[in-house]
């Protein structure tokens, strides 16, 4: 996961006359989706970092269009995971922002991008991927079923724990660090992205 100017009487009247024969535009939801009554059209999808996310694009294509996921996309390319995350899936991806990556010590972050560390980088990235499509509602349902705790099996085979924190989804990695889902349910043609505020660290 709105910000009116006073008009003169003449200007207001002019605008009213010019708009008499126009059909009013339908209201939009907070995510920019067009709403008809109580129904949101199937084309609705949140923007990420101000960039439009299209349901017809893959995870890699939409992430590449996001201005706040440049580091993640570079890492995916370096790790050789573009083809995987462009596949049919579906996948659930917890996508750390550029700011999230800056929280990682520079020595570790730069080390991941070295060719010799490709396997380590791939493992770290796969830890942010859960096979199958899990919406925020799905994850919250699992948390409820687990009496406050859901264990998700990631693509690298390790566990990722999801709990609820002030209504948000809190993820705790196998190594103990935490990330909050700051924007959920960004639909993709091959899954869903949930934006997170930290890089999750698996056990190496």
Whether 33 and 102 share a structural domain: no
- pTM of the entire predicted model: 0.77
Residue-level pLDDT at 84 = 94
Whether 18 and 95 share a structural domain: no
Residue 25 lies in a domain: yes
Q: Could you give the CA distance from residue 18 to residue 14 in angstroms, rounded to a whole number? A: 6
Domain span at 137? 49-196
pLDDT tens string 70-82: 999 999 999 999 9
CATH number where 162 lies: 2.30.180.10
Whether 110 and 70 share a structural domain: yes
Q: Could you give the CA distance from residue 5 to residue 160 in angstroms, rounded to a whole number? A: 49
Whether 189 and 175 share a structural domain: yes
Whether 74 and 39 share a structural domain: no
pLDDT tens string 136-183: 999 999 999 999 999 999 999 999 999 998 889 999 999 999 999 999
Whether 139 and 98 share a structural domain: yes
Residue 56 has pLDDT above 80, yes or no: yes
pLDDT category at 42 given cuts 50, 70, 90 is very low
């Amino acid at each position: 996961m709105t910000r009116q100017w006073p008009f003169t009487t003449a200007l207001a009247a002019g605008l009213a006359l010019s708009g008499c024969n126009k059909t009013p535009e339908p209201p939009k939801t907070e995510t920019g989706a067009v709403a008809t009554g109580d129904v949101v059209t199937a084309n609705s999808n949140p923007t990420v970092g101000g960039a439009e996310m299209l349901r017809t694009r893959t995870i890699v294509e939409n992430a590449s269009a996001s201005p706040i996921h440049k580091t993640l996309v570079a890492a995916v390319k370096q790790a050789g995971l573009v083809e995987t995350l462009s596949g049919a899936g579906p996948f659930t991806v917890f996508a750390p922002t550029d700011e999230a990556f800056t929280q990682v010590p520079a020595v570790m972050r730069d080390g991941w991008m070295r060719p010799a560390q490709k396997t380590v980088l791939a493992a770290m990235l796969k830890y942010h991927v859960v096979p199958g499509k899990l919406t925020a509602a799905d994850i919250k349902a699992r948390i409820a079923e687990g009496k406050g705790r859901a264990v998700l099996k990631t693509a690298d085979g390790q566990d990722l724990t999801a709990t609820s924190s002030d209504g948000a989804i809190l993820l705790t990695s196998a190594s103990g660090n935490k990330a909050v889902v700051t924007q959920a349910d960004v639909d993709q043609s091959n899954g869903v992205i949930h934006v997170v505020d930290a890089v999750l660290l698996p056990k190496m």
